[in-house]
Amino acid sequence: MQDPAHFTGTVTTGVAFIRGTFRLSIEYRELDRPARIVAQVHGSGLGIGLDASVVITFLPSDGGTTVRWSRELTFSGPVASVGERILRTTVDKKTHSLFDRAREQLEAESAGG
């Protein structure tokens, strides 16, 4: 974390036959706890540039919380021009996996006390 609104990180991942490290910088543009997060993401790696705007909303639902998210992605670079559809699918899979793991961890913590 650089400050409460900015952080950076790396993700090691693969897209089709291409594997490597992606460097990310994320800025919270709107942080309305506990209901909504709007973030701007910039990433680079694997011969790809990524810019994304992400909106995450948290809605009370039957004693729990429903998480909804949307994103707008822009890819750049030589690899991006060849496989944008594959990249979008991979980003969506990785994002779903992230939310699934977060849900599992929160449910385990809730059950364990």
- pTM, whole model, 2 decimals? 0.71
What's the rounded mean pLDDT across residues 79-84? 65
Residue 27 Rama label (left phi>0; alpha psi -120 to 50; beta): beta
Q: What is the pLDDT of residues 6-15, one digit of tens each?
A: 999 998 877 6
Q: How far is CA 6 from CA 28, 33, 64, 79, 104, in A?
A: 7, 16, 29, 27, 26
- What structural domains does the chain harbor? 6-112 (3.30.530.20)
Q: What is the pLDDT at residue 77? A: 84
